[in-house]
Amino acid sequence: MSPDQIAVLGAGNMGTALAQVIASNGHHVRAWSIETDVLEEMRDHRGNTRYLAGVALHPGIEPVWDCAAAVAGAALVIVSVPSQVVGPLARDISPLIKRGQVVLNVAKGLEAGTHLRLSQVLERELGKAFGKRAGSMGGPAIAIEMARGVPMAVIIGLADRDCSLRVQRILQNEHLKVETTADVCGVELCATLKNVYAMALGVCDGLGYGTNTKAFLATLALAEMREISLALGGERDTVYGLAGVGDLLTTGYSEHSRNRTLGEKLGSGGDWRHFLRNNTVEGVGACRAVKELIAGKGLRAHLLETLYEVLFAERPAPEALRHFFREFSYG
Ligand X SMILES: NC(=O)c1ccc[n+]([C@@H]2O[C@H](COP(=O)([O-])OP(=O)(O)OC[C@H]3O[C@@H](n4cnc5c(N)ncnc54)[C@H](O)[C@@H]3O)[C@@H](O)[C@H]2O)c1
176 binds ligand X (CB under 6 A): no
108 binds ligand X (CB under 6 A): yes
To ligand X, the closest distance from the beta carbon of 282 in angstroms equals: 4
Q: Residue 241: name the closest of 150, 154, 134, 136 by CA.
A: 154
Strands 76-79, 61-64: parallel, antiparallel or unpaired by DSSP?
unpaired
Task: Give the integer Cα–Cα distance in Å for 146 and 144.
Answer: 5
Asked if residues 204 and 268 have their Cβ atoms less than 8 Å apart, the reply is: no
Choices 137-145, 173-181, 198-206, 238-246; region in contact with ligand X by CB under 6 A? 137-145
Q: Which lies closer to ligand X via its Cβ, residue 39 or residue 321?
A: 39
Three-class DSSP labels, 245-291: HHHHHHHHHCCCCHHHHHHHHHHHCCCHHHHHHHCCCHHHHHHHHHH
Task: Give the integer Cα–Cα distance in Å for 331 and 325.
Answer: 10
- x/- map, 269-288, ligand X, by CB under 6 A: -----------x-x------
To ligand X, the closest distance from the beta carbon of 38 in angstroms equals: 7
47 binds ligand X (CB under 6 A): no
Which of 98, 108, 132, 194 is the catalytic position? Answer: 194
Asked if residues 119 and 143 have their Cβ atoms less than 8 Å apart, the reply is: no
Q: C-alpha angle with apex 302: 197 to 186, nearest 5 degrees?
A: 50
251 binds ligand X (CB under 6 A): no
Asked if residues 43 and 10 have their Cβ atoms less than 8 Å apart, the reply is: no
11 binds ligand X (CB under 6 A): yes
To ligand X, the closest distance from the beta carbon of 129 in angstroms equals: 24
Asked if residues 48 and 55 have their Cβ atoms less than 8 Å apart, the reply is: yes
Judging by beta carbons within 10 Å of its beta carbon (0-12, 13-18, 19+), is residue 128 exposed, middle or buried? exposed
Among 77, 141, 204, 310, binds ligand X (CB under 6 A): 141
190 binds ligand X (CB under 6 A): no
To ligand X, the closest distance from the beta carbon of 210 in angstroms equals: 26
Q: Residue 289: name the closest of 108, 141, 152 by CA.
A: 108
* Torsional sign, CA 241, 331, 192, 194: negative
To ligand X, the closest distance from the beta carbon of 12 in angstroms equals: 2
Does residue 98 have an active-site annotation? no
Select the residue whose beta carbon is closest to ligand X and give its number: 12
142 binds ligand X (CB under 6 A): yes
For residue 128, the 8-state DSSP code is G
To ligand X, the closest distance from the beta carbon of 311 in angstroms equals: 17
Choices 30-38, 57-65, 164-172, 309-317; region in contact with ligand X by CB under 6 A? 30-38
Among 82, 131, 149, 270, binds ligand X (CB under 6 A): 82
Asked if residues 221 and 204 have their Cβ atoms less than 8 Å apart, the reply is: no
30 binds ligand X (CB under 6 A): no
Q: Which lies closer to ligand X via its Cβ, residue 164 or residue 280?
A: 280
15 binds ligand X (CB under 6 A): yes
Q: Which residues bind ligand X (CB under 6 A)?
A: 10-15, 33-35, 51, 80-83, 85, 89, 106-109, 141-143, 280, 282
| Residues belonging to the active site | 194
